[in-house]
Chains A and B, each alone.
Chain A
C-alpha cells in the first residue's frame, strides 16, 4: 500500500469572512466552522456554545484544559477519507494522496467531564516541554449544555467529534492547494517485502492503545479499542487518521490525534525501511483493565509477532501505572517467541527521582527508551492570556492543592503539560 503525503506549510492563521488557504495563510471564518460542527446531532445536544481563538508560537498564551490536538488533513486521491469510521465512511485508507496542513493544529479545550487536563504554554519554560508550542493553534473552546454532568460519556463524545469535524473542515481548504513538499510511504506484502529485502531484519511496530474507559479510550476506524482483538494495521493508515484519540488523562503521555497522525515510530521506521530493516506492519493492541483482556491481548500480540516471522518489534506504550503491566506482558511474551524488543515508555520516579519508574518490570525488558520522568516539578510563569480556564489547574493529574499560586504562576509536575513525556518517542526529553 502506497501513500503520498503533500505538505502545505501554514505560516499564519487569520480570522476572516472567507475560508481559504492562500500563500501559506489559513483564512477562517469561525461562524462557518461553528455551523459545520453543529451539523452533528450529539454536538447540537451537548455543546451550548463554541468560542474560537488563535494561539501563536512565542505568545504569552496558555491553553487549558486541553482535550485533543488534531492536524487538518484531506484525502485528495484514492479510497476513503480522513478519520474513517468517525467522520468519513469506513473504507480502508492509507493509499493514494493526502494533503497535510503542516505547522498548525486544531486544539479542543474547555471544561471536560473528569480530571481535566492539560496545559499548553506558547512561550516560557513550559513551551520547551510540549511540541504544540511550536504550532499555530486554532483553539476551539467548548461550553457544555445544562445537565451534562449526568451525561459525561455523551459530552466527551460530542467534544471529540467537534474537534475532528473542525480539523476536517479546515483540512478541506487544502484540497486544491499545491503542496510545498511531498513524501511517499510504501508497505509491501509479506512475500514481496521478503523478496525485495532478503537480508534485512523484519520488524513490526507494536502500538499499544489506551483503552481504560471514559477519557481513556482510543478509536480505530471508529471502533472502540477496548472491544478490539489485537490485529494488524498498515502504517500508512495512521497517516489518514485511522486511529483517533478519545483520551485526555493524563496530559503528558496521552497520544493526541496529532500524535497518531504524525506517529514518529512510523516515520522513523519508514526512514530505516529498505536500509537497515524491513518495516513489515503495525500491530495494534489495547490496554484494557481486566486481567483476562490483558492476557488475551498480549498473547495475541506475541502470536502475531511469531506468525509474521519477525526478528524484532518496537513497542510503544500509552499511559502509566495500570498499563505498565500490559507493556511488560507484551515485551516478555514477544521476547519469549524469539523476537527481540525495544520498548518506549515514560517514568513516574517521584518528584525526587528516587522511586521505581515503572509499576512492573522484567529482566527481558533490556532495551528501553524513556520519554522522561513525569513527576519532575516545573514552575510555569504567569501568561498574559488564558484560552479556556485556569479553574481546574489544581485538580488535573500532576497538579495539587495550591498548584495555581495567587501570583498566577503554576507549580506542578510535568505531567500537566500536553505531550511532555510522550511514549511514541515524539520528543527529545529523556532521563537517566
Chain B
C-alpha cells in the first residue's frame, strides 16, 4: 500500500509548450508527467503520483479563483496523502502558482503540501506558510531538487518529525529546529569571520528579526482617582510557589489576591525566577513587586486604589509568544475589573 500523491506542474514541464502555451486551462491526467517521474523513481514504490494537474502559468495568474477551485475539486476527489507543486526554480509566475495552490490545498483540505523553487522566486514570500524546498535558479537543478523533495515528502507522508531547514533542504520558515553540524560552533564562527573580512559570501545561522514596538497609552490625568495594578515578570509568588511556576520558560502565569496585604515578607512571598540572585527578593519581595510602596501611596491618597490582584510570571527564558499570550489573557481581567493603569516590573 503506497502513499498517494497529486502533483501540480505547468505547461512547460508537461511538454505542452513554452510561453506561447501559458494560457492553457487546468487539465487532470493519470499518473506522473514530466518531472513527476523523478519523484516517483525516488520513492521506490513507497509512494506514487496517482494524478498530475497541469495548468498554464498565465491562466493561473489571470483566473486565480477559477484555477484554485478547479484544482481543489480535483484534489478533494482524489483524497491523496500529499500534494506536491513544482519545482518552479526561478520561473516567477510558476513559483507564485505553486506556493499559492499548495497553501490553498493545505488550508482548505488539510492535506500536507510541499513545493520547491529558487529563494528569490516571488512565490518564496509564502515560505512561512508553505514548506518550500530551496532549489537552484534553473531547471538544471532538477537532479538535486527532485530527490530532496521526494525525501522530505516521504517523511511528511509517514508523519515523521522533520529536521532543521539546513538538514532537510527547505527554506528557513521561522520555526527553529536543532540539529548537529559537522563542525563545532567556534570553527564555524572563525570561518564566517574570515569570509566576512575578505568580502566572501557567508550565511548567518540566525537572521535577526524585526521587533514590533508597543506604543504607550495616554498618560493618566488624575492618579488620585486611578486603580493601579501591579504585575511582574520577576516571578514573585506566594511562599511555596503553590502553582509551580517554572524557574525558566514559564508555561503559565499566576493570579494572587493581595487584598488586606500591606507588605510582602520572607514568610509570605518568594521568587520563582531562576535568572537572578534570589537572595534579596526572597528576603523582601517588595523589592520586585512594590506592594508596600503602593499601599503607602494609597493611604496618602496619591493613587486611588491598589488593585486586589497581582499577575505574575517568570520572564527567564520564557518565549515571546507565551509572554504575549499570558498578558493578552489577563489584560482582559484587568479591564473588566476597572483597572486604569499597570506597573509592570521586570528583572
Contact = CB atoms under 8 A, between A and B. Distances in A.
Interface of A: 114-115, 117, 128, 152-153, 201, 203, 212-216, 249-250, 264-265, 267-269, 271-272, 276-277, 289, 311-312, 314, 316, 320-322, 340-342, 344-345, 347-358, 361-363, 365-376, 394-401, 413-415, 422-432
Sort chain B's interface into a size bin. 35 or more
A225 to B, nearest CB: 14
A205 to B, nearest CB: 10
A320 B277 CA distance: 15
The 7 nearest A-B residue pairs measured at CB: A425-B185, A350-B319, A425-B186, A213-B277, A115-B274, A401-B244, A264-B186
B197 interface: yes
Contacts of B248: 115, 250, 397-398, 413, 415
A363 B208 contact: yes
Interface stretch (B145-153, B198-206, B294-302): B198-206
26 contacts: A264-B184, A265-B186, A265-B189, A268-B190, A272-B190, A272-B194, A322-B275, A348-B318, A355-B321, A355-B322, A357-B209, A361-B211, A368-B208, A394-B244, A395-B247, A400-B251, A415-B317, A423-B185, A424-B185, A425-B188, A425-B189, A428-B185, A429-B179, A431-B164, A431-B178, A432-B177
A75 B131 CA distance: 56
A291 to B, nearest CB: 13
Given A311-B197, A352-B175, A431-B206, 6 more contacts: A345-B206, A351-B319, A358-B206, A363-B208, A396-B274, A415-B248
A253 to B, nearest CB: 10
A428 B317 contact: no
B197 A277 contact: yes
Contact of B178 (A321, A345, A399, A430): A430
A178 B143 CA distance: 55
A371 B276 CA distance: 22
A162 to B, nearest CB: 21
Main secondary structure of the interface of B (DSSP, over half): loop
Contacts of A367: 192-193, 196, 202, 204
Main secondary structure of the interface of A (DSSP, over half): loop
Contacts of B207: 368
A128 B175 CA distance: 22
B204 A314 contact: no
Contacts of A289: 276
B84 to A, nearest CB: 22
Contact of B189 (A268, A340, A376): A268
B39 to A, nearest CB: 24
B193 A314 contact: yes
A317 to B, nearest CB: 12
Nearest to B172: A432
B183 interface: yes
Interface string B244-274: 1011110100000000000000000000001
A230 to B, nearest CB: 20
Contacts of A212: 275-277
Contacts of B246: 395, 399-401
B338 interface: no
A262 to B, nearest CB: 10
Nearest to A395: B247
Contact of A355 (B251, B316, B319): B319
Contacts of A357: 176, 206, 209
Interface in B273-332: 274-279, 315-322
Nearest to B174: A354
Nearest to B315: A321
